[in-house]
Chain A
């Protein structure tokens, strides 16, 4: 490896990293939590009353409800979900969404959810149900690097960040290549803190390199795929891409069909499980059920196979004939080429290997967030002005303005995201029943906490704010299990404490993370007070160039002798 090339890529690594680092911190912290989106939503949802669960129509008798709902509700006819297992929420048998007019297809935060029941006279009663958007909000923060909505424009921002992220990965790898073996097996813990942080940054970076390559490339594809398809349609597919994806299932013209003549749902499920015994169906998704291309996706899980996304995979069934039309997305029964595609998705969404892989992804996600945080710290440390030892009464140098601002931005943005996410999770219980639109409040709570943290970091300076914000991160995160505990001890508060493993897992994880943040706050406090004063991370560093450096040299010298000598 030519040393000249290494120098070029070192510059690439530095600048792509510093531009993308904070956005990637948010994407990874929120992404790690998104792995456990479903248990988190369960934690945030009050348990359904036992009687409402008892009222739900059994699957064997659901046919009339499905058929009449499809016939009378146009929104349900477009897309209707029939939940099979009702061991926990949602307790409604049927569910459909109504999106806001003109909403982006990825923007589910604005959608309203409906369900239907049959009256004694057989008429359909549709009514709106509340769904917690907490998991979706954190997922959106993950998908568009902390921005509030997942639309075309924010996806382009995310795509650019993903491209910078990929450049940072490749360049970081090239920089490290000449000394790969030496550096990978070295964690030099000692007085040279910068060396230790750099070693740790390298170990985490190399150790999770394949994970990060997968994430960078898939994220870039998720951002740009619409545009790539448009260009490829003209260039490669001669404008026939739409027809290719539509398939050869006849024209979309035709008279509406009568959903009463469909095969009953339990029979549809039976057809699929007969074909794939290890597949466990969870939900039927009726798509355009009254049209000529009516289809049912039988979603479910197969723990022994790769799955396309968090919902699992599906078999495609014609609801009028009951025939299984396609197993192209059925876990374990895909063709080789389709398995390649699904494995790409599975590698991003951690939808393979069950719970252990989910925990590995959670850890890799948090480590990734730490990787970007430490990258910013190293950028700052490389630009630190050190006091000259040989000058006897050497004044403590004022740190560069850009270094001080970057330090403040790093702690403000990163810890602000942590505080914002923890606080908005806690808000799910405290605000429930007290505000009209809890889902809107989730967003408000997150961004108020986030921007307050960023403002505080610039106001107080990076050193002091790092301690304050780590304490805030610990407090808000510990508030998650404490809220549950309080809810269990004081039922009159109107909150709830769920005891399913998933919901309890949220509490235990938050407890551990909160204690970790508290530990970090302690060592940060020590560093800020007792560490060398010629650092942006010292409370004793001269905050402003003119007054301290010029008017109080005596104090400076004293500090220097005490802390940095």
Chain B
């Protein structure tokens, strides 16, 4: 607490958009990795679980995005996270 704190910019629109859009793509990427890696389940069950995991991740990221120091940082970090997740997804897709 105190003077060491960097002020947090509000940036409501920018952070909300970053969380809503990049959070959604991030969640989709995670569900894609899940669906490709988990192959032991009956396909209809697996598809439903993959759908169900999207919303908690998506809204969790959206809720977390207001903790970024600025809207710009939210876009940068979530963009980087998306790049990592989709990189893994592409790799998993190629291997499995």
Contacts and interface: CB of A to CB of B under 8 A. Distances in A.
Interface of A: 2-5, 7-9, 11-12, 163, 166-167, 170-171, 216-217, 220-221, 224-225, 228-229, 231-232, 235-237, 241, 244-245, 247, 328, 335, 337-338, 340-341, 344
Given A5-B67, A8-B67, A167-B63, A220 B55 contact: yes
Of all A-B residue pairs in the complex, the 6 with the closest CB atoms, nearest first, are A170-B63, A244-B43, A236-B32, A166-B59, A337-B45, A221-B55
Interface in B1-17: 1, 5, 7-8, 10
B49 interface: yes
A225 B52 CA distance: 8
Given A220-B55, A231-B28, A344-B52, A163 B43 contact: no
A341 B45 contact: yes
Contact of B62 (A167, A237, A241): A167
A544 B96 CA distance: 71
B55 A232 contact: no
A166 B23 CA distance: 14
Contacts of A216: 59
A9 B41 contact: no
B32 A337 contact: no
A157 to B, nearest CB: 16
A467 B8 CA distance: 43
30 contacts: A3-B1, A4-B8, A5-B67, A7-B8, A8-B67, A9-B67, A167-B62, A170-B60, A171-B66, A216-B59, A217-B55, A220-B55, A228-B28, A228-B51, A228-B54, A229-B51, A232-B31, A232-B35, A232-B47, A235-B32, A236-B31, A236-B32, A236-B35, A236-B36, A245-B47, A328-B42, A335-B45, A337-B45, A338-B42, A341-B49
A213 B1 CA distance: 30
A338 B62 CA distance: 28
Contacts of B52: 221, 341, 344
B8 A8 contact: yes
B62 A2 contact: no
A163 B59 contact: yes
Contacts of A166: 59, 62-63
A54 B47 CA distance: 47
Interface of B: 1, 5, 7-8, 10, 28, 31-32, 35-36, 41-52, 54-56, 59-60, 62-63, 66-67
B42 A335 contact: yes
Q: Which of A5, A8, A170 has the most CB of B within 10 A?
A: A8
A217 B36 contact: no
B11 to A, nearest CB: 10
A3 B48 CA distance: 40
Contact of B49 (A4, A247, A337): A337
Contacts of B50: 232, 236
Q: Which of A3, A221, A335 has the most CB of B within 10 A?
A: A221
B95 to A, nearest CB: 15
Contact of B51 (A3, A4, A8, A232): A232
Given A232-B50, A328-B45, A9 B66 contact: yes
A341 B52 CA distance: 8
B12 to A, nearest CB: 8
B31 A163 contact: no
Contacts of A163: 59, 62
Contacts of B62: 163, 166-167
A96 B27 CA distance: 40
Given A232-B32, A341-B48, 6 more contacts: A9-B67, A167-B63, A221-B51, A235-B28, A236-B31, A335-B41
B43 A217 contact: no
A455 to B, nearest CB: 33
A244 B47 contact: yes
Given A167-B59, A236-B36, A337 B28 contact: no
A217 B52 CA distance: 9
Nearest to B63: A170
Nearest to B41: A337
Contacts of A9: 66-67
Contacts of A344: 52
A123 B38 CA distance: 53
Contact of A244 (B1, B36, B44, B67): B44
Contacts of B49: 337, 340-341
Nearest to A163: B59
